[in-house]
Chains A and B, each alone.
Chain A
């Protein structure tokens, strides 16, 4: 069957500052086909599509629609060219009905009549096999229904090229099957469908051709019938690049954080974490790899006490600690018995056996808290608030994904941001400003933060410097477990290496470091072990020294077991 070219892109380049998101990408879309765009996180899939949809404007390159060169400057231009994009985050007005959302912004002649719109919406739904009530309000809808509204919104405007940005990420398997049926029907109707995804089995089951992007470049476009999961993975992750990060052998490795069968359910009732079990050891860096949105954020938040845990345990092993003996727990006889077994020692570490002491003297020693014993503190962090976790002496430092949103206050200076961790200290109603200021100055000096002063709002600093301030603050409180999510996102090479160095130093100090990253090369070179999660479940734990990118890539994308209904 002869197929006509619907859309083609030639030499499309898009830069954001110094970062090249798309580098001379060529892409063709034919009429009546489903083209899958496959790639890792941050490989420029969405950016490329946003340029067709009019969200971004390319720096270089040309776009041709039906053989004619076109310029797309706004979503309106895209609509006029019959191109419609269904974004990952729905753009809908909650308070409106489905039909009102669909008709929003459409320039139509004639009287405005909601009845006509409802009828037309129903007609489109019937044609492609959707189920929708045009008068239902968006806030009453499920995610899948909202997606249907978005698709009909695009079809209502007469689009013949539909771009779907990760449409299956939020759907249950049954809903995915239904969506794919609808897509096949649209394809039969002569529409071109572009589907952005990183799920290999979906690519293989629904698409006609696959275009693979890697680090902003178009690697290849292959016919789906010629592709296999492993050939696609290989093209997606590429060859390993060595980064020369100094990685020391882990020493004095002990279990520090044990996560057991952790389950979390988010506000929308979707299970975001499924039976996660792993152990983070002191003195090693545990990498967490996974497609964005596989539950990394929820996992870290659950450990830090920010995300309610549905079931499962988070066991924290605090290393041995001196504790004074009290008669509250033990009687005098028991104390004497234990002392004979060398269970106690004094403040200098010398054993205490109470030789030749009277009972009254022993009592006095205990009361003065001079009789110490060692104890491993084991506690469950589940359902404790972040503050409780802190006050228990459990030192979890958390570098959130969103640097300015959750980690720092943009309009405050470095000193004030240091005080966010120490504002409870000080006398009476007054806070202690001296120590945070000294700490701020130390961080600026040690980590070479370039800033005009300690009181410059952190919002004005560059991304790398902001990250240094944040990581610096978390490290300054001598954590036992340091969790860092995407700490090098958006940073240049030098700043990234500073951060890697900082994390490595923490590891050498016996901290259990958990590093969530997106660049597989970094994960392989920095971490000691790599935990791979996929759709909220652990799919494997690999030794970073021997693992290959392909192995991780497959674990990240493959669906070995069918997803449970969410």
Chain B
């Protein structure tokens, strides 16, 4: 049975990558902006954090400070990407899909350049044990649940509380549903869009950093990061635009995504090389099924924000 418990914990830890990515994307989408730059932003977040760690990794700073500075590095870099996106789509009203895709291409490429110049012995070897606090000393599966995993859960829950229990959240949702109405009652639409996009991007960037420094904790981790950005965007649909649902959703996604290697451990089942990629498709299949089910049920609360993907221009009445 222990295999299955390990599997569950591993799914949780892996899922935290998407938890960050999709919580960030949900915040952005709630303001009416479909940010397809999330894969690039997650990559840049990872690069930003590692860049900072590369500078301070061998210094004698206290451990918690190194952890915080790394996180800040990821946040700042990802938010800078978010700022570019919001400037283009909110202020200049550029097409959101095109802008997002451009940012993804840009972010993934730039991240690879940065990461190839960094020294893994500095940014990874020492710091990775710090990020695995408080279970760093354990030898069982629990060791992969570190600070950043708990941070992801806290952020996801917080995001839901803010969206559905505060006035700020009400205003943000109004902006995403009907910016004209929000504007008419005196809500600063532009500010909400900028804030949601930048903070959302920052959160997504943490996911990339978490993946490189903690979950994979290997020198080659960054090469496989982009795919999880796309998975995060799919998870937004699975979670029906509710941040707390990403905790469940990301675990399911993590479970499905890595089940190919676990199924092989069960006696009597052999997984051929050809079957592995097929099993890795499962999260996307599930997303399509969720889309079909929600579209058939057509419940208004489960639909994307009404003005998602549309630019808002006050004079266009």
Contact = CB atoms under 8 A, between A and B. Distances in A.
A and B are interacting partners: yes
A105 B177 contact: no
Chain B contact residues, majority secondary structure: helix
Contacts of B84: none
Interface stretch (B13-21, B55-63, B120-128, B164-172): B164-172
A330 interface: no
A105 B306 contact: no
Given A103-B170, A104-B170, A105-B171, A93 B178 contact: yes
Given A95-B300, A95-B301, A103-B170, A75 B180 contact: no
B102 to A, nearest CB: 22
A46 to B, nearest CB: 12
Contacts of A94: 177-178, 300, 306
B203 interface: no
A259 B196 CA distance: 55
Interface string A71-107: 0001110010000000000011111100010011110
Interface string B159-194: 000000111001101100110111011110000000
A274 to B, nearest CB: 31
Contacts of B173: 93, 95-96
Interface string B132-176: 000000000000000000000000000000000111001101100
A423 interface: no
A112 interface: yes
B240 to A, nearest CB: 13
A185 interface: no
A327 interface: no
A139 interface: yes
A410 B174 CA distance: 30
A105 B186 contact: yes
A384 interface: no
Contacts, number: 56
Nearest to A87: B184
A95 B300 CA distance: 7
A96 B185 contact: no
Nearest to A77: B186
B184 A75 contact: yes
Contacts of A93: 173-174, 177-178, 181-182
B306 A95 contact: yes
B174 A104 contact: yes
Interface string B68-107: 0000000000000000000000000000000000000000
B298 to A, nearest CB: 11
B300 A91 contact: no
A437 interface: no
Q: Which of B167, B174, B187 has the most CB of A within 10 A?
A: B167
Contacts of B182: 93, 104-105
Contacts of B170: 96, 100, 103-104, 112
Contact of A96 (B165, B177, B180, B187): B177
Nearest to B186: A76
B314 to A, nearest CB: 10
A139 B185 contact: no
A100 B185 CA distance: 12
Nearest to A137: B300
Given A94-B177, A104-B174, A137-B300, A79 B306 contact: no
Given A75-B185, A95-B173, 7 more contacts: A92-B181, A96-B173, A104-B174, A104-B182, A105-B187, A112-B166, A139-B300
Interface of B: 165-167, 170-171, 173-174, 177-178, 180-182, 184-187, 300-301, 306
9 contacts: A75-B185, A75-B186, A95-B177, A96-B170, A103-B167, A104-B174, A104-B185, A104-B187, A112-B165
